[in-house]
Structure 1
Amino acid sequence: MMKKKIEEWPHHDYATRLSVAVVYAFLAAIAVNFFYQPGHIYSSGATGFAQILTTLSHRVVGFTVPVSITLFLINVPLFFLAWFKIGHKFTIFTFITVFLTSFFIHIIPETTLTKDPIICAIFGGAIMGVGIGFALKNGLSSGGLDILSITIRKRTGRSVGSISIIFNVMIMLMAGILFSWQYMFYSALAIFMSGKLTDALYTKQRKMQVMIVTKCPDRVIEGIQDQMRRGITIINEAEGAYKHDKQTVLFTVVTRFELPMLEAIMRETDPQAFVSISENVRILGRFYEETMD
């Protein structure tokens, strides 16, 4: 029964990843062509750098290099970093995602829905953040600074959205210096919205401490360790204050992404157990994270 339930847990195959890549590419193109470009808002990550290079290209070489081309060229060296530091399949699908994003940005016409830069910043940032978070949640990267953010997160434990915001300060300053300081603040609003939406959707990085009070510790431990690669701390001979019965307390840490799997395990092994969950805990030391490859 346990194996049957866990086998039903969704594992994204290649077709699903390709579908996610198409969805992200479309959302990114909508954000850029419907909100960022018409509102003169600069996006987060490589897309923002691509927009800046596109704007500068007209001043420097006399003609405008499309955002779609500058975006793809910026990502080329980062593909090598992803190949060696993250994973081969991850890099291949990132390449596909970046190519599709550049393609959609190129073919979808730039459309002015509103000239209000605040509306463009809010809605453009929200759409871009949803796209990035959705891509990362399904094992894909939107390329650019996402690759650097994931690499740094593995070493520091910081959230992807927070790391991206730090990197994107450079984009805001460049936008202010080169074009206008008011657009620096509009771009900051867009980047903030994008980072928050990314964190809201990319739940693999959010860690949760779980305390389990159970009378069937062996079954619970076996279920967790068979299906989840998580360490468990055991406190034996715990006593209930009401009935003074002996129970066992188990402590472990999981990600929010794994929480439905833990709930399925608990329903199967000990549905009467008391489970307490504390969100957004900070971890010092080793914590296993699944590869995105």
Structure 2
Amino acid sequence: MDEIDKLIERHQNLSKLSVAFLYSITVSIAVNMFWTPGGIYGSGVTGAAQLVSTVTGRWFPFHISTAVMYFALNAPLFVLSWRKIDHKFTLFTVVAVALASTMMHLLPGTRITADPLICAIFGGVVNGFGTGMSLRNGISTGGIDILGIILRKKTGKSVGTINIIFNIFIISCAGLIFGWVHALYSAVSIFINGQVIDMVYNKDQKLQVMIVTSKPKNVITQIQSEMRRGITIVHDAEGAYKHEEKTILFTIISRSELHDLETAMEASDQHAFVSVTDTVKIMGRFYQKHIY
């Protein structure tokens, strides 16, 4: 059994390394082929690294490249992640950021188009896809992701407000340096980047599950053995077709647990009626798995 666990862990590690390499390519393409040639800033630490690179190149006697600055800005967050989150998680984050910095340096800056709107759209799509794939496979791309995980662990809330403030700062700088038209394009790119991340990384989306069953004990036992979820039970329901006594069960799961739910239902009651709908907001206690 230990050998099987080792093989599974080795496969997971190789998958994470592959995804880290994929991210390094996508962020390099976004920065070197779309954002920088189009005068567009990305979101988070990537945008901050571009900003410092632009400022040092224009008004200082020395120039710090985006690749070097990207790693330098992430370095203090590695320490924070090592102390507050998890050592293995931090190591994969360092690998992802190091690969991204290396690829940004190696990949030649190519001006594909002079249209800043196209640069904004394609840069946001490419970077969003790479970032979303990384998060989906349990890898952080550094930056505000790390702050978000720490804040979520302590308060249960996301780092959305900090992320918005940080990106507003980057957009404002883009307006001052490149002009407000480019600031608008940067805002468009950041918005697209976020939307693509959400589409690719839908792991934490909450779903409401309603189960109508004649075998409530079996279903409850199976769900709670597969997932750490509370269940609300409504007794004495009646089916309108055969007038059979039913029990209605309500629970909330994340989208990543949808397959576990299907497995639990197949094992407990294959004839149960199951309805799964998106949940807009949850108030109260909800167990949130760590991403690492």
TM-score, structure 1 normalization: 0.91
The 3-state SS of whatever aligns with 2:203 is: helix
* Alpha-carbon contact 2:53-2:65 (below 8 Å) kept: yes
Cα separation, 1, equivalents of 2:34 and 2:13: 31
Note the aligned Cα RMSD (angstroms).
Answer: 2.0
- 1:22 is matched with which residue? 21
After superposition, what is the alpha-carbon deviation per residue over 1:62-107, rounded to whole angstroms, capped at 9, x for unaligned? 2321111000000011112222333221111111100000000000
Code of the residue aligned with 2:66 in structure 1: it is: V
After superposition, what is the alpha-carbon deviation per residue over 1:135-186, rounded to whole angstroms, capped at 9, x for unaligned? 111101111122223334453545x778644531111011112331111101
**Residues 200, 70 of structure 1: CA spacing in aligned structure 2 closer, same or farther, 3 A cutoff?**
same
- Structural mapping, 1:9-88, within 5 Å: 13-88=12-87
Code of the residue aligned with 1:193 in structure 2: it is: I
- 1:142 is matched with which residue? 141
**How many residue pairs end up in the alignment?**
284
- 2:216 is matched with which residue? 217
- 1:288 is matched with which residue? 287
Residue 119 of structure 1 deviates from its aligned partner by: 0.3
- 1:3 is matched with which residue? none
Code of the residue aligned with 1:213 in structure 2: it is: V
- 1:101 is matched with which residue? 100
Residue 264 of structure 1 deviates from its aligned partner by: 2.1
- Which deviates more, 261-270 or 97-106? 261-270
Code of the residue aligned with 1:217 in structure 2: it is: P
Cα separation, 2, equivalents of 1:205 and 1:153: 12
- 2:226 is matched with which residue? 227
**Residues 131, 164 of structure 1: CA spacing in aligned structure 2 closer, same or farther, 3 A cutoff?**
farther
The 3-state SS of whatever aligns with 1:238 is: strand
* Alpha-carbon contact 1:165-1:195 (below 8 Å) kept: no
Cα separation, 2, equivalents of 1:141 and 1:232: 32
Code of the residue aligned with 2:187 in structure 1: it is: A
**Residues 80, 134 of structure 1: CA spacing in aligned structure 2 closer, same or farther, 3 A cutoff?**
same
After superposition, what is the alpha-carbon deviation per residue over 1:35-81, rounded to whole angstroms, capped at 9, x for unaligned? 01111110111010000000111234323211110000000111122
* Alpha-carbon contact 1:239-1:245 (below 8 Å) kept: yes
